[in-house]
Structure 1
Amino acid sequence: MKTEKVATHIISWLKDYAEKSNIKGFVIGVSGGIDSALTSTLCAKTGFPTLCVEMPIHQAQSHVTRAEDHIKQLKVRYNNVSEVRVDLTGMYEGLKSVVPQLPNTPKEELSLANTRARLRMTTLYYFAGLHSYVVAGTGNKVEDFGVGFYTKYGDGGVDLSPIADLMKSEVYELAAYLKVPNSIQIAKPTDGLFGDNRTDEDQIGASYDELEWAMKEQDAGKNEADFSGRNQEVFKIYENMHKLNQHKMLPIPVCEIPAAIK
């Protein structure tokens, strides 16, 4: 990848979008992970106001520290960067207290995890509305178009996606070029939605390097029978998630009424 040219292209694309759409700036949820760190840096480099929003919900201190360090570094480097911290723990617990639950079941655990992401999306759009900003998404290509590893109408609810055509390895390459803090570059990827130490790899069953490989092989027309051993296992994981999460990647189905009966 021609890293410098890719960075310049994304920054120019963001600036062009902002100017043509007459929006005043960008708002990004900053989690302490590599994707949000890269996205917020790219937005900051446009020169447009860039609001970094921390939204902890029972968040691990290591995630909080990384997010704070990144935002602090951005504010030193770019005078168009501002920050706000909204602790959503109380709101999350309040919602839990009024909805029916199936305690200690996998479905409840997943529903609550997705609820965290959707509370954060709502918060980002609150600030976007206040300031006439747009919400910049932080999903990469493997997550958004490969395995669908994001929450529908949560972190998937955005106005534009600056890094969604970058593989995870390219995210790391660009982040290193743009001097994202090393603590973020070396941290294991995690969505932080479950309140424990599980990583993305723990949830998916494969690393991002493996998923990138599988995505490229599927795009090349390969199928599960073309592989054996770990490669076959990874390809099956990728293929199953890709099929299962098509509802996130495709437009919402619309029931079209035949003209003859309207």
Structure 2
Amino acid sequence: MKTEKIIDYIVKWLKDYAENAKMNGFVIGVSGGIDSAVTSTLCAKTGLDLLCLEMPIHQAENQVTRATNHIKWLQENFSNVKTTQVNLTPVFDSLVAAFPKVAYEEERFMTLANTRARLRMTSLYYFAALEKYLVAGTGNKVEDFGVGFYTKYGDGGVDLSPIADLLKTEVYEIARVLGVNEDIQKAAPTDGLWGDDRTDEDQIGASYPELEWAMQMADEGKTAADFTDRKKEVFEIYTRFNRANRHKMNPIPVCEIPKSLKS
């Protein structure tokens, strides 16, 4: 992979898009993870305004520390970077208290995890509207087009996606060349929606290199019957997530009314 050329290409793409849209820059939620670290650095390299938001909701302390350290590193290296912290924990708690209690607690827990992501999206667009910024997405190719590992109208609600054509392993390579903090590069990927340290692999059941392999096999037309043991298990995990999350990855269905009914 021609990493430095890819970096230059994305930075130019970001800058051209913002200038053509007559926008002043970008706003991004910095989580302490590799994807937001890489995306925010690429946005900073455009020279346009970059607002980094920290939006903790009962966040694990190590995630907050990594996010804070990354933003500090950005500001030390780029004069166009600003930061704001919006503590969404009280907002989230008030919303949870307002919802009626339900019997199926496990499903409610998952729904509330997605609610965290949607509160953050709302905050990003608040600042984007105030400052004429674009909301930069942080999803990579495996998450956005493979397993659909994101929240619909949460972290999936963005204006543009600079790293969505990069596999997770490619994102790590870009992070290395950009000089992203080692603690972020070494941290296990997590969506940070649960208030604990559970990783993406804990939730999905497969690592990103495994999912990348399965994605390639699916693109080549393979099926689970072509594999055995762990490879078969990983391919089935990938296929299950891909099918279940198609509603996120496909365009919103529109009920098209026949012209004969409108005349």
Q: Shorter-chain TM-score: which interval? A: over 0.9
Summarize the alignment of residues 83-98 of structure 1 with structure 2, pairs less than 5 Å apart.
Answer: 83-98=83-98
Q: CA deviation at 1:150?
A: 0.2
Residue 17 of structure 2 is aligned to residue 4 of structure 1: no
The equivalences for 1:68-87 within 5 A come to 68-87=68-87
Shift of 1:123: 0.2
Amino acid at match of 1:188: A
State the TM-score, normalizing by the size of structure 2: 0.99
Letter in 1 for 2:247: H
> Residue deviations 1:79-134, cap 9 Å, x none?
00000000000000000011113267221010000000000000000000010001
Between the aligned partners of 1:191 and 1:101, the Cα distance in structure 2 is 25
Q: Name 1:156's counterpart in structure 2.
A: 156
Question: C-alpha offsets along residues 24-43 of structure 1, whole Å, 9 cap, x if unaligned?
Answer: 01000000000000000000
- The whole-number CA distance in structure 2 between the counterparts of 1:170 and 1:102 is 42
Which portions of structure 1, spanning 4 or more consecutive aligned residues, are displaced by more than 6 angstroms? none
Deviation per CA, 1:161-217: give whole Å up to 9, x if none.
000000000000001100110000000000110112211000000000100000011
1:54 and 2:54 correspond: yes
In the alignment of these two chains, the number of paired residues is 262
Which residue in the other structure is 1:100 paired with?
100
Partner of 2:133: 133
Give the Cα separation in 1 of the matches to 2:157 and 2:189.
20
Indicate the SS of the match to 2:9. helix
1:78 offset after TM fit, Å? 0.2
Matched ranges for 1:9-48 at <5 A: 9-48=9-48
Assess if the C-alpha contact under 8 Å between 1:101 and 1:108 holds in 2: no
Q: Which amino acid aligns with 1:94?
A: S
> Contact conserved, 1:137 with 1:155, CA < 8 A, in 2?
yes
Preserved CA contact (<8 Å) 1:28 1:51: yes
Q: Secondary structure at the match of 1:52?
A: strand
What is aligned with 1:123?
123
Cα 1:199–1:104, aligned 2, differ >3 Å: closer, same or farther?
farther
Q: Is the 8 A contact 1:141 1:163 kept in 2?
A: yes
The SS at the match of 2:112 is: helix
**Helix, strand or coil: the match of 2:31?**
coil
Match of 1:175 in 2: 175
Structure 1 unpaired stretches of 5+: none
Question: Structure 2: how far apart are the matches of 1:71 and 1:103?
Answer: 41
2:245 paired with 1:245: yes
Map residues 108-119 of structure 1 onto 2, 5 A cutoff: 108-119=108-119
Question: Is this contact kept in 2: 1:29–1:53, CA < 8 A?
Answer: yes
CA-CA distance at 1:221 after TM superposition: 1.0
Mapped to 1, the partners of 2:160 and 2:200 lie a distance apart of 23
Q: How does the TM-score come out when normalised to structure 1?
A: 0.99
Report the aligned-residue RMSD: 0.7
List gaps (5 residues or longer) in structure 2.
Answer: none
2:257 aligns to what?
A: 257
Partner of 2:219: 219
